[in-house]
Amino acid sequence: MRQAPARHITVVGAGVIGLTTAVVLQRDGHRVQVIAAERGERTTSAVAAALWHPFAADPPERVNAWSRASLDELTRIAGEHPEAGVDLLTTREASDRTQLPWWAPSAPDLALEPGPHPLGAPYSFRFTAPRIEPSLHLPWLESQLHSPVRIERVQSLAEVEGDCVVNCTGLGARALTGDGELLALYGQVALVEPGEIPLDVALGDERNESALVYVVPRRREIVIGGCVIPSPDDRPLTPDPERTDAMLQRVRAAGLRPGRLLGARAGLRPYRSAVRLEREGRVIHNYGHGGAGYTLAWGCASEVSAMLRHV
């Protein structure tokens, strides 16, 4: 494969998309600077349950290719870098049908398993999925950068320095590009002590998007979600206590016994009818990953890398 000439690249955005893209471009030999209005805990990426799972992202064919590439890289990271906060979990997905889900091509070991799903569905699919701990993974990505993230709010992409600018601003892309297709999808999670919930199996039920349920174990806590509600960009991110209670009730009603409530968090997923991954002059856009930023990050970053090889 042809090696790209080394360039000075500015990545705007320090969520999972910006940081992953920056790490990949730096590995390619480019000089990379990340600039971002917010980093770490203050990004949407910090709120995510962060289970590999193609969900609320389009279009299906590209999402499957990016998800598969990310699955391979996250599986490698889980084996080689325990400090990156990635572990492989058995995941059981609820279904009303025996037909494979649309994202089956990206999950090589996905299979229908005998018996009903623990969250109350007649059928259950099983697959292996990386689960990422944002509080470990985002700092791990940052720790690989040769230059620290510069905190700065960009007003215009045209004014950003560099031979190339990669726009990884999530929902912030609306103000920067005027993209009216970008939609905020509100999500909320509860964090609980494990109680009697095993730490090696994740459960999901997305049959009804407005009453989404997932139970995602981390190393020391469990994430319980969730919801998908189209919202204004400036919706307050104070979690609604009634919604938290309702989420806990739903998993208790399924016979699960979570431990003490540790807290709740809310965030806005940057959804678009198609992830915007394309070149526009000196700028490469990489935003709009909806409910699947962690699932798509490595695949999308590889595509940005390939775009830079072919100019």
Applying CB under 6 A, which residues contact ligand FAD?
A: 12-18, 36-39, 43-45, 47-51, 53, 153-154, 168-172, 176, 187, 189, 225-226, 267, 269-270, 287, 289-295
Dig out the tokens for 310 from the structure. Answer: 């072919």
CB of 160 to ligand FAD, least distance (A): 9
Q: Which residues pair with residue 35 across a beta bridge? A: 12, 150
**What single-letter amino acid sits at 240?**
D
CB of 199 to ligand FAD, least distance (A): 16
Nearer to ligand FAD, 217 or 267 (CB): 267
CB of 269 to ligand FAD, least distance (A): 5
Nearer to ligand FAD, 33 or 295 (CB): 295
CB of 30 to ligand FAD, least distance (A): 19
CB of 5 to ligand FAD, least distance (A): 27
- Give SS3 for 309: helix
Parallel/antiparallel/unpaired status of strands 31-36 and 150-151: parallel
Nearer to ligand FAD, 162 or 187 (CB): 187
Nearer to ligand FAD, 205 or 311 (CB): 205
Say how far apart CA 286 and CA 124 lie, in whole Å. Answer: 33
Nearer to ligand FAD, 15 or 28 (CB): 15
Dig out the tokens for 219 from the structure. Answer: 């190393």
Say how far apart CA 67 and CA 180 lie, in whole Å. Answer: 25
Chain Cα centroid distance, residue 110 = 20
Say how far apart CA 303 and CA 177 lie, in whole Å. Answer: 21
